[in-house]
Structure 1
Amino acid sequence: MDAEIELKLFIQSQHHDFLKKILNEYPNSTPQGQKKLTNGYFDTDDLQLRRWDMGLRVRGFDNQLEQTIKTAGRVVGGIHSRPEYNVSINQKMPVLSLFPTEIWPVGNDLDSVSRSLKCIFETNFERQTWHIYLNDSLIEVALDVGEIIAQHKIDPICELEFELLAGDTSALIQLAREVAKSVPFRLGKASKAQRGYQLAGKSKPFSIESIDHVCLPKNNNVPQALSAILETALERWQLIENILVTVTNDVERLSVLWGELRRCVRLLRLTLNQFGLLDQHISPLFDHLERALEFVGPLQSCCLLLQDDANMLANISNKAVVCQQLENHINAMSISTQLASIWQHAEYGQLQLALVDLLLTTENGQHQFSQEPELDLFANKLQQASWKRIGKLMPITSAMSSEDYQDVADALDESILVGFAYGEIYPAKKREAFRLPWQDLALGISTLSAYKILRLLSELHQLDIDTWLDNKETSLLFAMEQSRKSALKVPIYW
C-alpha cells in the first residue's frame, strides 16, 4: 500500500509553456519526461465501489497496464490524502482478487462485484513530470493535459499536481506557493474520478447546503475551533467554485453562489484577524480579492428587485421597462465569466494556498496563542467586541439615513459572521431571538442598496420613478429604525 499525498491545482491552458519553463529552471529540478496515460474507471451499475468510498482504475502507459484502487481518504483545501494499492496486470479488465483481502468491507460479495464491473468513464491525458528536491523533501510535479470522456461527453483536464514522494507535506505548499508567484491557478478539490462520475451522470451535481453555524469541537479547544472555521470556509469556497464552473445562465443562482463565496472569504479574513494571523503578506491578497468581488453587492441588489417576478416593483407603471434596465445592468457585469477573470489574477491562488498552509500548520499545532482561554470565553470576548462596535456605529439615540445604513453594512456583516462562527456554543432560542432582527436589518440594507441602483438607472434612462423610490425608501427606513432600536434593547445571549 502507498499513502498518496498530493496537492492539486487547476490551471489554464495559456499558461502551459511558461509553467514548463519555470519548472525546468527551478533549483534542484530534474525533468522526468512525458507520458501518455490512458485510464478506465470501473464500477458496478449500482456504484458499489463508490458506496464503499473506493475508486478503481486501470491505467495504461509504456505498453504496461496497472490496476489501482484508492480507499477512503481526506481532502483538506487542495491536499488529497488517500491510501492506494497498485498491481500490474496483463488485461484491461481489473481483477479485484489481486488486491489485499483486508481492504474490503466485512461481508462483501466480491465475486458478484467483480462480475458486474464495467467501465464508467475514461481519462486520457499527456503527463509531463519533474522531480524537485526542496528542504529534504522529494516532490513529483505533474502537468496533466487531456480530457475526461463519458457517454460521448468530454470535459477538459488541465491540472498541476504536486505529490509528496518523501519528506514533509509542508514542502508541497512551499513549492506551490513559489510557482503561484508567476502562474495563476485555483485549488483543485474535485479529483478526476469525481469529475468523471459527474460527467457520466453517476453522481449528483455539486451542491452546497445551507448551514446555520460552523460545527465546532466539543472539547472547548480554541486551536481546534480555528481549524474547524478555516476548513469549513475554505471547503465551501472550493465547492462553490466547482458549481460556478457549471452554472452559466441562472443569474439568481449565480447571485446566491457569489454571495456565499464572498461570505466565506470574509469569514476567513475575520477569523485570521481575530487570531492574530492576518499578516502583511496575506492582508493585501484579501484586499485584492475583495476588490474583484465588488460586483457581488450590486448583483445581489438587482436580483433582489427582480425575484418573484419583480414583485417589489409591482406598483410601478413602467415595470417592464425598469426590469429590462435592471437586466441590462446585470448583463454588463459579465457574471458568467467572472470566475475565469478573477482566476487570471495570481493573487487568487496565492491566497488560497496561504490559507491551506495556515490550516495545516494550525492542525499540526504550530500556532501558539498566548494565554489561550477556553473556547466559550474566547467566543464571548469576540461577541462582546463585535456588539460594542455595532452599538458605536448605530447609537440608539441617533437617527440613521439610507447612506448611514449602507456605510455600516460591512460591519454588520462581520458581526453576523461572528455569530455564524461561534453560534453553536450558545442556546439556540436566545441566540436566534437576538440575531433575527439584525439579519432583517442586513436585508433592509440590501434593499436600500437596490433602491440606490434604481435611482442611478432612473437618472441615466429617464425612468421617472423618483417619487415611487422616495416613498419606498421612507417607508423602509421607518421600519428599519423601529427594528434597530428594538434590536439594541434585546438582552445579549453570551
Structure 2
Amino acid sequence: MITEVELKFLILSDDVSERIKQLLTSHQIPYQHNVRKLHNCYFDTPDLKLRALDCGLRIRQYETHLEQTIKTSGKVLGGLHQRPEYNITVEHNFPDLSLFPNSIWPDDANVEAIQRELTSLFSTNFQRETWLVDIEGSKIEMALDQGEILSDGRQEAINEIELELVEGDVSALYNLATLLFSQLSLRAGIHSKAARGYRLFADKPFNYSVALFFSDDNTQNNTQQWFIAALSHYLQQLQLATESYLTNRKLSALMQMVEILSIIRHGFWLYDEIITEHSKEIRRELSHFIQLFAWVDSAIYLKEVMNKTGNYRKKLEYSQQLIEQLKLEKRRFPDAEMVSELLHSERFNQLQMRLLQLILNDDPSKAFLPVAQPSLLPFAREQMNKSLTELHVAIEAIDPTDAEQFLDKRKVLHRCLLTGNWFGHLFDQQHRHHFRVPWLDMQQGLSELQSLWIIKQQLEKLADDNNESVVKVITWQQRKVENLLVALSHTKDAALSLPAYWQN
C-alpha cells in the first residue's frame, strides 16, 4: 500500500509540454522524460457499492502491462490529493478483489457479492507525459494527462497536470507548483478522473452547493485549531464556488466565490491580534482579489433590474432611453473570458497555495504570534460582541427617511453576519436562527434598495429629458424607495430588540 500525495491542476494554456520543458531548463532542474499511452477501465456494481465505500477500482493497461488498482478513502484540500492505493500486476483485464488485502475492507463489506456484480462503468484514455524531477533534494513526478473520459457514448476531455511526491519533503511539491503558476494558466483540480467518470456515467452535473457556515466538533475549545479548520473548510468552498462559476458562468456563482473570499479575510481580521505578519500578508492578498471583484455586486443588481421577468422591468419599459442607458452600463463589466483568465492567473493560484501551506504547516508560529492563546468560547463571544456593538452604533442613528444612510451601513451589517459564519455554530442553533432572521431580512432589503438606487443614478443621467415616460419611472422609483424605507425601519427595530444568542 502506498499513499499518494499529489497536487492536481486543470489547464487553460496551450503548448503545455513545451512550456514545461522550457521552465525546467531555465531553472536548471534535472529531469527524466517519458511519454506513454494509458487505457483505464473503471469497475463497480450497478448500484455503486464501491462508490458507497469511497473506493475507486480500475484496470490500467500500458503497452502489454496490466495493473489492478483500488484507491480507498482519502482527502482533497486545495488541489492536494492524499489517498491510499493498492496496485497489483495482473494477467487479465477484469478485476479480482481477492488479490487485495482483507484489511482494506470494512467489517460488514460483502466482498464476494461485490465481485459477482462488478461491471465496467466508464473508461479513461489519455497520453501521459511525465517529467521525473529532482528538486530541493526531493523527487517529484510531474504528469501531463491529455485525453478523454468515455461512458455510454458520452465523453469529457482530460487536460490536467499532476505533481506527485515520490520521495522527499512536501514543500518541494509546493515550490514546483509555484514555478508552474508562472508559466501556465491553471486552477486547482478538485475532482479526480474517477469522480468525473462516475458523474459522466450518471449523466448528472456535479453538485456545487457551497457551505458558508463553519462547524467542527474536534477542536476541543482550541482557538488556533478552530482558525485552521475554518480556513480548510473555506478553501474547499472557495474552490467549489470557482469551479461552479467556470462550469456555468453564472454571476450568482461568482458572487458566492467573492463572498467566501470575504469570509476568509474576515477570519484574519477576527484573529488580527494573535496572527503573524505572514498571515496578514495573506489577508492583504485576499483584499486585493475582493477589490478586483467589487464590480460583481453591481452586476448582480443590474441584472436584477434588467431581468425581463423581474420586479422592475415592466416599469422600466416606460422609458426606452433608460433601458439603453442600463445596457450601456452593463457593458462596462468584465466578460466571462476575462474572469476566467483571472481565476487561472499566477497570483490567484499563489493565494490558494499560501492558504494551503498555512493550513498544512505543523509549525503554528507561521500563522500565530507566540502569545497566550485565548480559549475558543470566550474569544468567540468577544468577537461577536464587538461586531454587534459596531453594528448597533452604526444603525441606531440612521435617519429612517434617508436611503443613503441605510446603504452606507451595508458593509458593517455584512461584517457582523460574517462573524456569525465563523462562530455561530458554537452556540444554540435555534437561537442563532431566530436572531439572524431580521438581520438577513435587512440585508435583503438593502440589496433591493441598492437595485432601486442604480435606477435612480441612471435616471439622473436623463435629468434633462422631462418627457412623460421618464417622469413616470422617477415617480415609481421614489414611491418604491419610500415604501422600502418604512419596511427597513421596522426590520431594524425588530433586529435591535433581540438579545445576543451567544450570551444565553
For the superposition of Structure 1 and Structure 2, which TM-score range results when normalised by the shorter chain?
0.7 to 0.9
Which position in structure 1 is the counterpart of 2:453? 452
Which position in structure 2 is the counterpart of 1:124? 125
Q: Deviations over 1:414-469 (max 9, x none)?
A: 22111111001223344334333322222122112211322345466886212211
Q: How does 1:225-374 map to 2 (within 5 A)?
A: 225-248=226-249, 254-275=250-271, 276=275, 279=279, 281-305=281-305, 309-311=309-311, 318=318, 333=333, 336-337=336-337, 339-361=339-361, 367-369=367-369, 370-374=371-375
Q: Quick check: 1:163–1:172 contact (8 Å CA) kept in 2?
A: yes
Secondary structure at the counterpart of residue 501 of structure 2 = coil
Q: Deviations over 1:352-378 (max 9, x none)?
A: 111111111269786444210110111
Q: How does 1:49-88 map to 2 (within 5 A)?
A: 49-88=50-89
Secondary structure at the counterpart of residue 67 of structure 1 = strand
TM-score relative to the length of structure 1 = 0.88
Displacement of 1:78 in angstroms is: 1.4
1:317 and 1:285, CA in 2 relative to 1: closer, same or farther beyond 3 A? closer
Q: Which amino acid aligns with 1:99?
A: F
| Structure 2: stretches of 5+ with no match in the other structure | none
Q: Deviations over 1:102-153 (max 9, x none)?
A: 2223344434423332221121222222233344332222122222222222
Secondary structure at the counterpart of residue 72 of structure 1 = coil
1:22 and 1:416, CA in 2 relative to 1: closer, same or farther beyond 3 A? same
Q: Which amino acid aligns with 2:448?
A: T
Q: Which amino acid aligns with 2:3?
A: A
Q: Deviations over 1:243-296 (max 9, x none)?
A: 333325xxxxx3432222111111111212333256464345324422332332
Displacement of 1:309 in angstroms is: 3.4
Which position in structure 1 is the counterpart of 2:48? 47
Secondary structure at the counterpart of residue 164 of structure 1 = strand
Which position in structure 2 is the counterpart of 1:3? 3
Displacement of 1:238 in angstroms is: 1.6
| Structure 1: stretches of 5+ with no match in the other structure | 249-253
CA distance in 2, matches of 1:56, 1:173: 29
Q: Deviations over 1:295-347 (max 9, x none)?
A: 32123324544779323556667499978986886687576546523224221
1:299 and 1:426, CA in 2 relative to 1: closer, same or farther beyond 3 A? same
Which position in structure 1 is the counterpart of 2:478? 470
CA distance in 2, matches of 1:227, 1:331: 40
1:322 and 1:120, CA in 2 relative to 1: closer, same or farther beyond 3 A? farther
Q: Which amino acid aligns with 2:355?
A: L
CA distance in 1, matches of 2:189, 2:137: 26
Which position in structure 2 is the counterpart of 1:251? none
Q: Which amino acid aligns with 1:270?
A: H
Which stretch of the first structure deviates more once superposed, 279-288 or 115-124? Answer: 279-288
Which stretch of the first structure deviates more once superposed, 74-83 or 254-263? Answer: 254-263
Structure 2 residue 480 is the aligned partner of structure 1 residue 484: no
1:324 and 1:86, CA in 2 relative to 1: closer, same or farther beyond 3 A? farther
Percent identity for Structure 1 against Structure 2: 30
Which position in structure 1 is the counterpart of 2:421? 420
Secondary structure at the counterpart of residue 273 of structure 1 = helix
Which position in structure 1 is the counterpart of 2:198? 197
CA distance in 2, matches of 1:382, 1:272: 12
Q: Quick check: 1:206–1:239 contact (8 Å CA) kept in 2?
A: no
Q: Quick check: 2:456–2:477 contact (8 Å CA) kept in 1?
A: yes
CA distance in 2, matches of 1:118, 1:490: 58
Which position in structure 1 is the counterpart of 2:189? 188
Displacement of 1:70 in angstroms is: 0.4
CA distance in 1, matches of 2:454, 2:383: 34
RMSD over aligned CA atoms reads 3.2
TM-score relative to the length of structure 2 = 0.86
Q: Deviations over 1:460-482 (max 9, x none)?
A: 68862122112212222233244
Displacement of 1:395 in angstroms is: 4.6
